[in-house]
Amino acid sequence: MFRPAGETFEILLVHKPRKRDAWQLPQGGVEEGETSAQAAIREVREEAGITTEVIGTSGEVYQYDFPASYRRFRPDNVKGQRIEYVFAKVEADTKVKVDEEEIDEFVWVLPDQIGEYIKRKEYLELIHKLYDDGTATISKSENLRA
């Protein structure tokens, strides 16, 4: 999720009420019958109160296995996560309203601020790549409209 900030864009990070790796991009599971894009739009509406449309998709995928200590609380067939990304843009004055349950805070950040919130190196690198890909997608989409 991007919003204009002068000549550049900010990206939305949300905070889950937990101790480790609490800041992340808005995300969630795909429900039966949904595409990844439809799930992303639903999740950002549920988590941040934002209604928007997808303007592009990313080829990047973030995939990892759950540690054994966590997997003991999950069904045997759930061994990790595979996260796909889509891009959306909102107006600069769009209001965010977190659900106060799954998400308890949010912040809009510029690229040089992402590391203040995201600590895991692999995830930080991914978010920077997504930022670059997302802003390029926005530029293409705006040039097509012009």
Identify whether the C-beta of residue 29 lies closer than 8 Å to the C-beta of residue 39.
yes
Q: What pLDDT sits at residue 141?
A: 78
Q: What pLDDT sits at residue 65?
A: 75
User: Mean pLDDT score of the chain, rounded to an integer?
Assistant: 87
Q: What is the pTM of this model?
A: 0.84
Residue 101: both structure tokens together:
């349950």
Q: Which domains does the chain have, with CATH numbers?
A: 2-145 (3.90.79.10)
Taking every pair of Cα atoms in the chain, the longest distance, rounded to a whole number of angstroms, is: 53
